[in-house]
A and B are shown apart, each in its own frame.
Chain A
């Protein structure tokens, strides 16, 4: 059974940092690109970051570029998102997502909530 389990969310003050983790099982983690997607409360979905199989390349939208860093540890089947200089608009549920070979988002975790507030 495929499982993606996020952790690390919580309440954080503006300007501070937070690290999210995603533990993966049920498929060969190192074979897949991975991504983070977020959803602000009662809002739509926004792609946040993508990482290639080896971690050699990463991609971000302008809204988080320079503040967020995606990384992975294939030996631990784990995905990470380091978030710096957090803003109130970063408040959202963050989903760990597996990207299929055709570039669609095939597996999703249950999400972890990040609240940025003083």
Chain B
């Protein structure tokens, strides 16, 4: 089974900051990596698919990058509405989620 290690588990940042969240796979996942945002009390929402493709309606301040085993979600300028927990998901072999990163405002 493929394991996903997501970091950090908690991130505190200020409005306007550039924020990065990382996921590391236990083996090459061929860019089959997506990012989801889950606000408190809500269902997860797709942000980025296949490493770097922005889903419809998602603000351009969100971007994804990476390859092989290392992947990054970047928020170029943090907004108050971005407070949420973020998860990565690999689907190269089955489906495995990262443990999540809780993003808070400083």
> Which positions in A face B, CB cutoff 8 Å?
35, 44-47, 50, 61, 95, 100, 102-106, 108-111
23 CB contacts below 8 A, A to B, read A35-B95, A44-B87, A44-B97, A44-B98, A44-B99, A45-B97, A46-B97, A47-B95, A47-B96, A47-B97, A50-B95, A95-B43, A100-B49, A104-B46, A104-B49, A104-B89, A105-B46, A105-B89, A106-B46, A106-B55, A108-B45, A109-B43, A110-B43
A60 to B14, CA, bound (A): 41
> Which B residue sits closest to A106, measured CB to CB?
B46
Q: Decide if B80 is an interface residue (CB 8 Å cutoff).
A: no
Q: Decide if B50 is an interface residue (CB 8 Å cutoff).
A: yes
Shortest Cβ distance from residue B91 to the other chain A in the assembled complex, whole angstroms:
5
| Contact indicator B43/A104 (Cβ below 8 Å) | no
Q: A95-B43, A109-B43, A110-B42 are in contact. List 9 more A-B contacts (CB 8 A).
A: A44-B87, A44-B100, A45-B44, A45-B87, A45-B89, A45-B100, A104-B46, A104-B89, A105-B89
Shortest Cβ distance from residue A27 to the other chain B in the assembled complex, whole angstroms:
13
- The DSSP consensus for interface residues of chain B is loop
B interface bracket (residues with beta carbon within 8 Å of A)? 20 to 34
Of residues 11 through 31 on chain B, the ones whose CB sits less than 8 Å from some CB of chain A are none
Residues of chain A lying within 8 A (CB to CB) of residue B98 = 44
| Contact indicator B91/A61 (Cβ below 8 Å) | no
Residue-wise interface mask of B (36-64) relative to A, using a CB-CB cutoff of 8 A (1 in contact, 0 not): 10000011111001100001000000000
A15 to B91, CA, bound (A): 31
* Given A44-B87, A102-B49: A111 touches B100 (CB 8 Å cut-off): no
A49 to B68, CA, bound (A): 26
| Contact indicator B43/A108 (Cβ below 8 Å) | yes
